[in-house]
Structure 1
Amino acid sequence: MEWLGLQLFADLPASGRIVIDCRHEPLLVLLAYFVACAACFATLDMAERQSHSDDPTAHRQWNMLGACCLAGGIWAMHFISMLAFQAPVEVHYDVSLTILSLLIALGVAWLAMHSLERKQMRGWHFVQSAVLIGLGIILMHFVGMAAMETGARQYYQTGLLLTSAAIALLTSLAALCMARYFRNGSGTLYQAMKYGASLLMAGGIVATHFTAMSAMTLVIPADTALRLPSGDNSLQLALGIGFITLLISGASISAALADKKLQSKDHDLRRVSELLSQLDQARASLQQAAHYDALTNLVNRRGFNQVLAERLAEHQASESRLAVMFLDIDHFKRINDSLGHDAGDQLLKVIANHIKAATRSHDLVARFGGDEFCVVTSLNNRDEARHLGQRIMQRMKDPIDLGGRRMVMTTSIGISIFPDDGKTAEELLKHADLALYQSKDNGRNSLNFFNDSLKARASIALQLEEELRLALLEERGLCVHYQPIFDLRHGHVAKLEALVRWQHPQHGLLGPDRFIGIAEANGLIIDLDLWVLRHACADLAYLQRHGYGELKVTVNCSAVTLSHDELPHEVEMALFHAGLSARQLELEITENALMGDIQRTVNLLKRVRALGVALSIDDFGTGYSSLAYLKRLPLDVLKIDRTFLQDVPGSQKDREIVQAIIIMAHTLHLQVVSEGVETPEQRAFLESHGCDYLQGYLLARPLPMGELQPLLERLRQDAVLSPCCDTVLPGSPDLYAGNPGYRAGASTARRGH
Structure 2
Amino acid sequence: MEWLGLQFVTELPESGQVILDCSHNPFLVMVAYLVACAASFATLDMAERVVNAEDPGSRRIWRWIGATCLAGGIWAMHFIGMLAFQTPIDIQYDLGITLFSLLIALLASWLAMQTLSEAQPSALHCLKTAFVIGLGIAGMHYVGMAAMKSSATAYYQPGLFALSVAIAIGASFAALWVARYLSEGSGVAHQLLKYSAALILGAGIISMHFTGMAALDLVLPEGGLTASGGDNGHLQLGLTVALIILLILGSAISAALADKKLQNKEEDLRRVNALLSQLDQARMSLQQAANYDALTNLINRRGFNQIFAEKLCQKAAEGGMLAVMFLDIDHFKRINDSLGHDAGDELLKVIAQHIKGSVRSHEDVVARFGGDEFCILINLRDREEARNMAQRIMLKMKEPIELAGRRMVMTTSIGISLFPEDGSTCEELLKHADLALYQSKGAGRNGLHFFSSNLKTRASFELQLEEELRHALREENGLTLYYQPIFELKTGRVTKLEALIRWQHPLHGLLTPDRFITIAENNGLIAELDNWVLRRACKDLGELSRHGCEELKIAWNCSPLNLTRDELANEIEQALRSAGVAPERLELEVTENALMGNIANTLVLLRQIRALGVSLSIDDFGTGYSSLAYLKRLPLNTLKIDRSFILDIPTATADMEIVQAIIVMAHTLHLQVVTEGVESLEQYEFLERSGCDFIQGYLLSRPVPLDELRPVLEEINQRKHSHAVNPLILARGTFAPVSLDPAPKSPAPHAGASVVRPIR
Q: Which bracket does the TM-score occupy, shorter chain normalised?
A: 0.7 to 0.9
Contact 2:121 2:180 in 1 (8 A): no
Contact 2:296 2:348 in 1 (8 A): no
Once residues 205 and 477 of structure 1 are traced to their aligned partners in structure 2, the CA distance between those partners, rounded to angstroms, is 104
Question: Equivalent residue for 1:71?
Answer: 71
Which piece of structure 1 moves more, 509-518 or 120-129?
Answer: 120-129
Contact 2:485 2:700 in 1 (8 A): yes
Describe the SS at the equivalent of 1:612.
Answer: coil
Describe the SS at the equivalent of 1:500.
Answer: strand
Describe the SS at the equivalent of 1:634.
Answer: coil
Describe the SS at the equivalent of 1:323.
Answer: strand
User: Which of 710, 713, 716 is residue 712 of structure 1 equivalent to?
Assistant: 716
Which piece of structure 1 moves more, 162-171 or 289-298?
Answer: 289-298
User: Which of 745, 749, 760 is residue 729 of structure 1 equivalent to?
Assistant: 745
The one-letter code matched in structure 2 to 1:606 is R
Q: How does 1:153-164 map to 2 (within 5 A)?
A: 154-164=154-164
Q: How does 1:404-553 map to 2 (within 5 A)?
A: 411-472=412-473, 478-487=479-488, 494-504=495-505, 507=508, 509-537=510-538, 551-553=552-554
Q: TM-score, normalised by structure 2?
A: 0.79
Once residues 664 and 439 of structure 2 are traced to their aligned partners in structure 1, the CA distance between those partners, rounded to angstroms, is 40
Contact 1:35 1:245 in 2 (8 A): yes
What is the CA-CA distance between 1:567 and the residue it aligns to? Answer: 3.8
Sequence identity of aligned pairs in percent?
Answer: 58
Contact 2:343 2:403 in 1 (8 A): no
Instruction: Give deviations 1:629-660, integer Å, cap 9, x for gaps.
Output: 53553222233444566788999987887676
Unaligned runs of 5+ in 1: 733-742
1:354 has 2:360 as partner: no
What is the CA-CA distance between 1:675 and the residue it aligns to? Answer: 4.5
Question: Equivalent residue for 1:630?
Answer: 631
Contact 1:512 1:749 in 2 (8 A): no
The one-letter code matched in structure 1 to 2:269 is L
Which piece of structure 1 moves more, 370-379 or 57-66?
Answer: 370-379
What is the CA-CA distance between 1:35 and the residue it aligns to? Answer: 4.0
Q: How does 1:590-605 map to 2 (within 5 A)?
A: 590-594=591-595, 600-605=601-606
Q: How does 1:244-643 map to 2 (within 5 A)?
A: 245-246=245-246, 248-274=248-274, 276-277=276-277, 280=280, 301-328=301-328, 330=330, 343-344=340-341, 347=344, 350-351=347-348, 354-355=351-352, 357-359=354-356, 364-366=365-367, 368=369, 372-390=373-391, 395=397, 411-472=412-473, 478-487=479-488, 494-504=495-505, 507=508, 509-537=510-538, 551-564=552-565, 566-572=567-573, 575=576, 580-594=581-595, 600-627=601-628, 629-643=630-644
Question: Equivalent residue for 2:12?
Answer: 12
Once residues 274 and 571 of structure 1 are traced to their aligned partners in structure 2, the CA distance between those partners, rounded to angstroms, is 65
Once residues 99 and 656 of structure 1 are traced to their aligned partners in structure 2, the CA distance between those partners, rounded to angstroms, is 131
Contact 1:529 1:747 in 2 (8 A): no
Question: Equivalent residue for 2:203?
Answer: 203
Once residues 212 and 110 of structure 1 are traced to their aligned partners in structure 2, the CA distance between those partners, rounded to angstroms, is 23
Instruction: Give deviations 1:486-530, integer Å, cap 9, x for gaps.
Output: 546666655433333445565555432222212222343334434
What is the CA-CA distance between 1:177 and the residue it aligns to? Answer: 4.5
Contact 2:494 2:713 in 1 (8 A): no
Once residues 33 and 579 of structure 1 are traced to their aligned partners in structure 2, the CA distance between those partners, rounded to angstroms, is 103
Which piece of structure 1 moves more, 386-395 or 635-644?
Answer: 386-395
Once residues 657 and 100 of structure 1 are traced to their aligned partners in structure 2, the CA distance between those partners, rounded to angstroms, is 126
What is the CA-CA distance between 1:728 and the residue it aligns to? Answer: 5.0
Once residues 390 and 629 of structure 2 are traced to their aligned partners in structure 1, the CA distance between those partners, rounded to angstroms, is 39
Question: Equivalent residue for 2:141?
Answer: 141
Once residues 193 and 51 of structure 1 are traced to their aligned partners in structure 2, the CA distance between those partners, rounded to angstroms, is 18
What is the CA-CA distance between 1:424 and the residue it aligns to? Answer: 0.7
* 1:505–1:37 distance in 2 versus 1, CA, 3 Å: closer
What is the CA-CA distance between 1:116 and the residue it aligns to? Answer: 3.0
Once residues 244 and 469 of structure 1 are traced to their aligned partners in structure 2, the CA distance between those partners, rounded to angstroms, is 94
Contact 1:397 1:410 in 2 (8 A): no
Describe the SS at the equivalent of 2:613.
Answer: coil
Once residues 54 and 551 of structure 1 are traced to their aligned partners in structure 2, the CA distance between those partners, rounded to angstroms, is 97
Once residues 144 and 610 of structure 1 are traced to their aligned partners in structure 2, the CA distance between those partners, rounded to angstroms, is 110
* 1:501–1:747 distance in 2 versus 1, CA, 3 Å: farther
Which piece of structure 1 moves more, 148-157 or 652-661?
Answer: 652-661
* 1:584–1:146 distance in 2 versus 1, CA, 3 Å: same
Contact 1:499 1:702 in 2 (8 A): no
The one-letter code matched in structure 2 to 1:253 is I
Contact 1:481 1:702 in 2 (8 A): no
Question: Equivalent residue for 1:746?
Answer: 752
Instruction: Give deviations 1:258-303, integer Å, cap 9, x for gaps.
Output: 2123223324434544554565566556656665667777655555
* 1:162–1:700 distance in 2 versus 1, CA, 3 Å: same
Once residues 163 and 441 of structure 1 are traced to their aligned partners in structure 2, the CA distance between those partners, rounded to angstroms, is 104
Contact 1:498 1:747 in 2 (8 A): no
Q: How does 1:164-203 map to 2 (within 5 A)?
A: 164-184=164-184, 194-195=194-195, 197-203=197-203
* 1:164–1:267 distance in 2 versus 1, CA, 3 Å: same
What is the CA-CA distance between 1:448 and the residue it aligns to? Answer: 2.2
The one-letter code matched in structure 2 to 1:434 is L
Which piece of structure 1 moves more, 104-113 or 583-592?
Answer: 104-113
Once residues 8 and 653 of structure 1 are traced to their aligned partners in structure 2, the CA distance between those partners, rounded to angstroms, is 135
Contact 2:501 2:750 in 1 (8 A): no
* 1:679–1:335 distance in 2 versus 1, CA, 3 Å: farther
Once residues 460 and 605 of structure 1 are traced to their aligned partners in structure 2, the CA distance between those partners, rounded to angstroms, is 36
Contact 1:16 1:219 in 2 (8 A): yes
Instruction: Give deviations 1:708-741, integer Å, cap 9, x for gaps.
Output: 4476247645534777667752689xxxxxxxxx
What is the CA-CA distance between 1:121 and the residue it aligns to? Answer: 5.5
Describe the SS at the equivalent of 1:435.
Answer: helix
Once residues 582 and 157 of structure 1 are traced to their aligned partners in structure 2, the CA distance between those partners, rounded to angstroms, is 117
What is the CA-CA distance between 1:451 and the residue it aligns to? Answer: 0.7
Contact 2:518 2:754 in 1 (8 A): no
Which piece of structure 1 moves more, 189-198 or 553-562?
Answer: 189-198
* 1:715–1:155 distance in 2 versus 1, CA, 3 Å: farther
Contact 2:397 2:411 in 1 (8 A): no
Contact 1:488 1:687 in 2 (8 A): yes
Once residues 239 and 474 of structure 1 are traced to their aligned partners in structure 2, the CA distance between those partners, rounded to angstroms, is 102
* 1:568–1:54 distance in 2 versus 1, CA, 3 Å: same
* 1:346–1:255 distance in 2 versus 1, CA, 3 Å: farther
What is the CA-CA distance between 1:558 and the residue it aligns to? Answer: 0.6
Question: Equivalent residue for 1:735?
Answer: none
The one-letter code matched in structure 2 to 1:216 is L
What is the CA-CA distance between 1:47 and the residue it aligns to? Answer: 2.0
Contact 2:638 2:674 in 1 (8 A): yes
Once residues 3 and 377 of structure 2 are traced to their aligned partners in structure 1, the CA distance between those partners, rounded to angstroms, is 98
* 1:392–1:429 distance in 2 versus 1, CA, 3 Å: same
Question: Equivalent residue for 2:45?
Answer: 45
Q: What's the Cα RMSD here?
A: 4.8
What is the CA-CA distance between 1:686 and the residue it aligns to? Answer: 6.5
Contact 1:10 1:158 in 2 (8 A): no
What is the CA-CA distance between 1:674 and the residue it aligns to? Answer: 4.2
